[in-house]
Amino acid sequence: MSIISTLEQITDRHHVYPFLVPAQAPKLDVSHNVLLYLEDITVSFDGFKAINNLNMYINDGELRCIIGPNGAGKTTMMDIITGKTQPDSGSAWFGQTINLLEMDEPAIAQAGIGRKFQKPTVFEELSVWENLELAMAGNRNVWSILNARLNSEQSAMLLETIELIGLQANTQMLAGRLSHGQKQWLEIGMLLMQKPRLLLVDEPVAGMTHQEMDRTAELLISLAGRHSVVVVEHDMDFVRNLAGKDRTVTVLHQGSVLSEGTMSKVQQDPKVVEVYLGE
Ligand SMILES: Nc1ncnc2c1ncn2[C@@H]1O[C@H](COP(=O)(O)OP(=O)(O)OP(=O)(O)O)[C@@H](O)[C@H]1O
């Protein structure tokens, strides 16, 4: 192939280069309505069991709150789901067929598990729109980003996401100028652009105003159904708001499930009062 024809091909933005195409995500099977299975998981750090025979199941489309005292193993549990930490024993399945313990972090993200860390990590020098555009699944192709041409489906998805996260009035604003709460919502929006089936959200309301917390609860509740959402949070008012009367709350303690059920059930559980809520 001549240099000229190679250059012609590179400048043709419709050409799809194999090395730029993300690997095909494995197919998810949620025929039993369970999206995530964590079974008999144990992880030790220098002989200390941070996770101790943990069993947890997240249903497809569920919004689950995870609470527990400092050091209960909440972050370590998220690290196992996302492939950052390998357990010593146990199993972790995404749907019926995807064995998370055989995959690395990028493959797990590709399979549909997105994670939002506590601190927002948006691109401060780019606008809200550009942040979302960069995060879009299938738009990681260098040429399409440079050419900044979205197809109609991509534009519609971007607009829908901006509305969902409530930043319609800030589309062209630099992300660095957003409030703390708005940055958190933008980052949730950026995760949504990758169409995750499961969203893991770590302490989303730390540092937020009450108004921002209420808006965040509304946003996360609106995501349930289309996505499964697992929220780790210490703020009990926020958890009560998220869990409502019917959703399941899981209380972790010393790396295991101490109690599980509706918020009113776990709040009245004497074991929970003793180790956590009674503090
Ligand atoms: N890489 C590591 N090396 C050694 N110990 C660790 C490591 N990661 C976690 N731990 C320990 O494992 C335990 C569980 O930690 P983890 O961060 O998962 O708890 P957590 O429930 O997320 O706590 P917090 O609410 O404070 O964030 C803690 O005692 C912690 O010190």
Signed CA dihedral, 232, 235, 236, 238: sign only: negative
Summarize pLDDT for 135-159 with one digit per residue, the tens: 885 555 545 555 557 788 888 999 9
The verdict on residue 100 lying in a domain is no
The verdict on residue 10 lying in a domain is no
At residue 272, does pLDDT exceed 50? yes
Which pLDDT belongs to residue 151? 80
How many angstroms separate the CA atoms of 97 and 231, rounded? 24
Choose the weakest-confidence range: 131-140, 160-169, 182-191: 131-140
The CATH number covering residue 182 comes to: 3.40.50.300
Summarize pLDDT for 73-104 with one digit per residue, the tens: 999 999 999 999 999 999 999 999 999 999 99
Compute, in degrees rounded to 10, the torsion defined by CA atoms 242, 189, 157, 215: 40
The verdict on residue 243 lying in a domain is yes
At residue 7, does pLDDT exceed 70? no
Choose the weakest-confidence range: 4-8, 158-162, 208-212: 4-8
Asked whether 253 lines ligand 1 (CB < 6 A), one says: no
How many angstroms separate the CA atoms of 50 and 256, rounded? 9
Asked whether 73 lines ligand 1 (CB < 6 A), one says: yes
Which pLDDT belongs to residue 20? 44
Domain count, the chain: 1
**How confident is residue 12, by pLDDT bands cut at 50, 70 and 90?**
very low
Tokens of 110: 């590709």
How many angstroms separate the CA atoms of 227 and 188, rounded? 12
Average pLDDT estimate for 41-70: 97
Interior/surface letters 169-194, b for 16+ CB within 10 angstroms, e for the rest: ebeeebbeebeebbbbbbbbbbbbbb
The verdict on residue 96 lying in a domain is no
- Helices 210-223/180-192 angle, 10° precision: 10
Q: Which atom of ligand 1 is nearest to the CA of 234?
A: 25
Which pLDDT belongs to residue 279? 56
Choose the weakest-confidence range: 114-123, 155-164, 196-205, 234-243: 114-123
Could you tell me the CA-to-CA distances from 58 to 32, 63, 247 in Å, in that order? 11, 8, 11
Average pLDDT estimate for 269-276: 92
- Continuous segment of H or E residues that includes residue 267: helix 263-268
The verdict on residue 202 lying in a domain is yes
Asked whether 85 lines ligand 1 (CB < 6 A), one says: no
How many angstroms separate the CA atoms of 186 and 181, rounded? 9
pTM of the shown model = 0.88
Phi-psi region of 128 (alpha: psi -120 to 50; beta: other; left: phi over 0): alpha
Residue 33: Cβ within 10 Å count:
10
At residue 11, does pLDDT exceed 50? no
Residue matched to tokens 């947890």: 56
Residue 129: Cβ within 10 Å count:
18
Q: Which residue has the higher pLDDT, 2 or 200?
A: 200
The verdict on residue 169 lying in a domain is yes
Which pLDDT belongs to residue 232? 97
Asked whether 71 lines ligand 1 (CB < 6 A), one says: yes
Amino acid in the structure at residue 95: G
- The boundaries of the domain holding residue 205 are 62-84+112-277
The full DSSP string for 46-64 is: TTEEEEEEEEEEEETT-EE
128 exposure class (CB count in 10 Å sphere: 0-12, 13-18, 19+): buried
Q: Which atom of ligand 1 is nearest to the CA of 51?
A: 14
The verdict on residue 99 lying in a domain is no
The verdict on residue 196 lying in a domain is yes
Report which protein residue has its CA nearest ligand 1's atom 30. Answer: 71
